[in-house]
Every structure is written in structure tokens, then in C-alpha cells.
Amino acid sequence: MTNGRECHGHLEARTVDTRCILPAPMNHDTALIITVAASLGVAFVLGLLAVRLRLPPLVGYLVAGVVVGPFSPGFVADAALASQLAELGAILLMFGVGLHFSLRDLASVKHVVVPGALLQTAITGSVGAALARMWGWSWGAAVVLGLSLGVASTVVLLKGLEGRDRLDSAEGRLAVGWLVVEDMAMVLALVLLPALAPLLSGTGAPATSAGAMILPVIIAIAKVVGFVALMIVVGRRFVPWLLEHVARLGSREMFTLAVLVCALGIGTIASKLFGVSFALGAFFAGAVISESELSHRAAADALPMQDAFAVLFFVSIGMLFDPRVLVEHPWQLVTLVAVIVLWKSVLAFGIVRMLGEPKRTAILVGTALGQIGEFSFIVAALGMSLGLVTNDVQALLVAAAILAITLNGPVVRLAERFVDRRPPNYITATVPVVTPVERRSHMSLSRAALDEHDPFAFEDLQDHVVLVGYGRVGATVAEALMRAGVAVVVVEEQERVVAGLRKRGESAILGDATRLDVLDRTGIRNAKLLVVTAPEPFRARRIVEVARAANPTIDIAVRTHSAAEQVYFEEHLASPSARGRAVYAEREAALSLAHYALIALGRSDDEADWVVSSLRGRPTAPTETFKTVATQEFQAMMKGQNREL
């Protein structure tokens, strides 16, 4: 092998020796690649199996973590790497939520989420600590358990809201604000716990006096306030300015890189300089720029991998699960799961109702908070490092968290079905409460009465048009209807488009129109017409079926892209109580060109109209059978949608 001295000599003689140019063989560390590949691969298989069994896919992700974890035989993934990747997913997810959830949204619910979140955390923490003392645990373990039970998982809640298209609903904004307050409270708890550790562990007096012990809390609060002020004063100006200048370059790669730098960079600054968690810092980074048009482009273009990293979050939780806890501490595990799923949900429901919110909001927010997650594990890990808890306590907490997360999805869906079947006066009834906000406002109506309906839901509209898709075709249809004075509700999946429509004062819903709950928010049951401009034929078919099931008398117009699609829809749109029409886009373009060609050749307008009308009335022979195209794929999509409904 050529050594460095020989290479140096060759260079001085200006001769070329390929042995000096070619690098020596390297031992590549593939732990990161193997961990990602194994985790995502097993999560995909088990997530698919969970969906087939009509379970939430995150159940499969959690089980995947158990399979590749250290407590199961066979392959063991790198838990440290998986944890860091999961943290990255939480950062991207919270940044995306911040882009969608502005600081004004947070301020609008502060009178509920600030007292509500703090009260629930304190009461649940006290219950958890009392249970620990009953089991003979030390005061240190009791405090750690109480703090862990008092805070819900932001990732679990956000994924649930996104999966049900309820992130921009009244309960969605309230739940997100609630968790932001809980996360801030946990930041203070993480600062205070090390100072109290000597006293809680029973090893002696606390390391500092009471006055000195308060100082870290004051500093932590000052850091949080300083970070928020920095983002409001500087972030609101600098970050949009930066994104705007990068966007002018015309490079999508550079724009994507700029957004990721903002999300990860601001999250890192928040953690290292201000003591705030990475994810919470990323949330505020997104929130301060949420009113920028580019922020919605950032969410749509630059964060497509956040779902994959979110999957790794659940896998990393499953890797912490020790099956021995099921045998060694079964009753303690059942008790903790009951506290998390039942007690927290009931307590949150009571607090939200006490603060004057409608029953529907209280039920949905309460059930959504019936789980624990990332901050609970952070607190438990800190407790272990301080000698306050043992491995058995952490294993018990992880097992309870996994079971609670698994149960949370079905419980929330049951709650949604329950409130959907209640009469309107049941789900919108509010508790009369006089708040400081009401005293400052010179209004006779309570704030709860003003907010009892979701501002982005339109169930009360009558004889309006529901328009699915706001591309070039949908925008033209919407403009024609609005000029005629017809009320239109647009359903669109792109946040940027929905945000733009709402800024112009138009009615728009963000969500998937194949879902019944999304169409219900458009007031589909009272609508007169449904216009589907979505280009995918199978999605269009599903939208039509869901809409007709909800409103059998609604008229439907569908855009198609082949003669076979047109024939299929025309066979299924017409009914004794409703009309329908399928428009073959390419054929209409051809007829328009034919009309112009006839006029250009000297035919009169009436002659051209007669010819085009005769052609339009003639059925088009399809070149393929739409009913037999990708039948298995369509049936799989329908089964998946039915499970979600």
C-alpha cells in the first residue's frame, strides 16, 4: 500500500500515480440506513395488516417497534438513531401545524386552553402521584409518574386530527392550543425537576435554597417569553423575507432547503439557547409565518417526508416496550391505562364544559387528550438519569402509553359517531360562563354562543352548490356560479388554495371529499348541486357514492376524461329523484373547436349550433370499459375509506 511519504514524493515530481488518487477502502457505518429501512419496512407490513384488520395503522407502527426492538428476538434496530429520527419527524410535523395554526388562532382560544390545560395537568398529575404512593413508590417516582400522565402526545393528536380532516375545526384548534400550553408547562417541569431531585429521592436536603430553586423557573419563563417575542418581532419579518427572496430564484430545491433550514434551525435555536423543545420551537417558527402565502407553499412542497418520520416516532415508542411488564405488573398497567384513557378524557370534558364550550367540542377534545407520548418519555428518561425512577417504572409507563395510543383512535371515532347522532341542541348547548374576555367586550352574547359552530363548517346552508376541486376547471365553474349569486362551498386538499379562498371571504373546506365527515361540513345534506372536477375517476366515483348516500336527491355534475367514464357515470348519476350529467372534457373541447371551424368556413351560427348539438346528443362509443378498470384497486380504496368513516 502506498504510504503518505511516497505520495508526497510523486506530487513533488509532478507525476501521476493512481495509487495516490484512489481512496483506500473504507468501512462504512450503515446503522442509519439499516435502521430506517428495517423500521419503515416492518411498519409498512404491519400497518397494512392493521388496516386489513380495521385497526388504525399506528397500531401496526407500534407493533413494528416491538418487533425490531431490543426486547424481541432477531434483528434489533438502533434505538438511539430511531429516537433522533422520530424527533426530526416531530419537528417537521409541528412546523407544518404552525404554518396552518397561526398565533391569532392560539390567542383566540387562550381563555380556554391556558386554564384548562394547566388545571388538567395539575389534577391528573396529582392522581398519578397518589397512585404511585399507594403502590409504595418513592416521592420522586410519584412526581415523575404524575408529570408523565399529565401531558398528552402532540404527534398522536395531530396525526388523528389530520387523518379525520379536523385540524382546522373548532375542536382541532382548541386541542392544538391545549397541547401547546401543556408543552410549555412541561418545559418548566423539566427545569424544576433536577433542582428538586435530592429532596424527592430522599438523599438529603435540596441542593439549593427555596429562593435559589425558584430562580431557574423564572429564567425558564423568561427564556420562553424571550423566544416567543423574538419570533414575533424578528421571525415575522425575516423568515418571510428570506423565503420570498429564495422563491424569486425559481429553484424549487433551494426553496425546499430554505424551509427545512428555517424549521430545523429555529427548532435548534429554541432548544439550545432558550431551553424550549425542538418541536415546540418549530411550531412557533411556523406559526409566525403562517399568514404568508409562501408558508402554504412550504407546507405543500417542502414537508412531504414528515409522515414517514412520524411513522418512525411510533416505531421508536414500540422499541421501548418490554413485554415482561405485562406479566410482572398487570394490575398497575390496567390502572394506568384507565387513568389515561378514561380519567383524562372525562376530566378534560368537564373542564372544557366548565369553561363554556359546547358539548360536541368538549367530547371530542376530551377523548383526543386520552393518551400520552413524547414528553412523558422525556420526563421518565430525566427521572431515570436523576435516580428517581427505575427501569421497571419506565417500562410500565411505556406499556401504558402504547395501549393508550392504540385505544385512542377507536375511542375518538366512537365519540364522533356519538355526537353525530345527537340532536343539534345537544351538541351545541353551552354552559353559561362569564369570562374576563366577555367583561372587556361590550357584548351581551357570551363567547361560547359566538363560537358554538365551526366557522369553517357550513351545515346550515340551504340549496347551495358543493364544488370539489379548485383547479382551472373548478375556478371557472365557481366564478360563474358566484357571478350568478349562487352560494358555493369549495372542497380542496391544498392548504394554499383554501387559505387564498378564505382570505377573499369565500367558503372553503380543507379535506378529502371522499370522506363523509368532510362532505357533511359542506352541508351536503342540504345542497342542491354537487360539481366534481377532480381528475381521478375512482375518487370521483367514490365522492359521488358518498354524496348520494348522504343526499339521495342532490343533482350531480362530474368531469370525466374518457368516453368510458362518461358512459359509466351517466348510467349511475340519473335516479328517479335526482338528475346528473357527466361531462367528457376532451369531447367538449372538440365540439367547441368544431363549432368554430364551421363558422370559419362560412356556415352560420345556427347551422354550427345544430351540427354540434346533434353530435353532442349522439352517444360516444367507449374504447374501454370503465367498470372493469382497476376494480381491485378501487375496492381496496373503498374499504379503506369505509373504515375511516
> pLDDT digit string (tens) for 471-497?
878 888 888 998 888 999 999 877 678
CA proximity to 91, closest of 341, 273, 314, 260: 260
What share of the chain has pLDDT > 70, as a percent? 75
Q: What's the pLDDT score for residue 644? A: 47
Domain with CATH 1.20.1530.20 in the chain: 33-425
Residue-level pLDDT at 379: 81
The Cα–Cα gap between 56 and 409 comes to 7
Average pLDDT score over residue span 251-261: 81
Counting runs of H as helices and runs of E as strands, what totals does the chain give? 33, 6
d(CA 79, CA 35): 8
Residue 449's pLDDT is what?
36
Task: Tell me which H or E stretch contains 324.
Answer: helix 324-328
pLDDT in tens, 164-218: 667 667 777 788 888 888 877 877 777 677 767 777 766 554 445 555 667 766 7
Residue of 229, 543, 201 lying closest to 385 (CA atoms): 201
Q: For CATH 3.40.50.720, list the domain ranges present in the chain.
A: 465-644
Cα 24 to the center of its chain, rounded Å: 47
Residue 319 has pLDDT above 80, yes or no: yes
Report CA-CA distances (Å) from 324 to 287, 392, 543, 545.
43, 9, 47, 48
Q: Work out the pLDDT band at 340, boundaries 50, 70, 90.
A: very high
The burial class, CB within 10 Å (0-12 / 13-18 / 19+), for 423 is exposed
Is pLDDT at 400 greater than 80 in this prediction?
yes
* pTM of structure: 0.60
Burial class (CB in 10 A: 0-12, 13-18, 19+), 645: middle
Residue 575 scores a pLDDT above 50 = yes
Q: Which fold has domain 33-425?
A: Na+/H+ antiporter like fold (1.20.1530)
pLDDT at 3 over 70: no
- Whole-angstrom Cα distance, residue 356 to residue 451? 10
Measured between alpha carbons, how far is residue 254 from residues 248, 251, 257, 298, 308 in Å?
10, 5, 5, 12, 22
In percent, the amount of the chain with pLDDT more than 90 equals 8
- Judged against a pLDDT cut of 90, whether residue 339 lies above it is answered with yes
- Which value, to the nearest 10 degrees, does the dihedral of the CA atoms of residues 60, 63, 67, 70 take? 140
Q: Is the pLDDT of residue 83 over 60?
A: yes
Answer for the pair 351, 178: CB distance below 8 angstroms, yes or no.
no
Higher pLDDT, 39 or 86: 39
Predicted confidence (pLDDT) at residue 324 exceeds the cutoff of 80:
yes
- Decide if 448 contacts 510 (C-beta within 8 A): no
Residue range 465-644 in CATH 3.40.1710.10: no
| pLDDT exceeds cutoff 90 at 220 | no
Please tell me whether residue 226 adopts helix, strand or coil conformation.
helix
**Digit-coded pLDDT (tens) for 113-170:** 889 889 999 999 999 999 999 998 888 888 889 998 988 887 778 777 776 667 667 7
| Distance, CA of 467 to CA of 34 (rounded, Å) | 46
**Residue 503 one-letter amino acid:** K
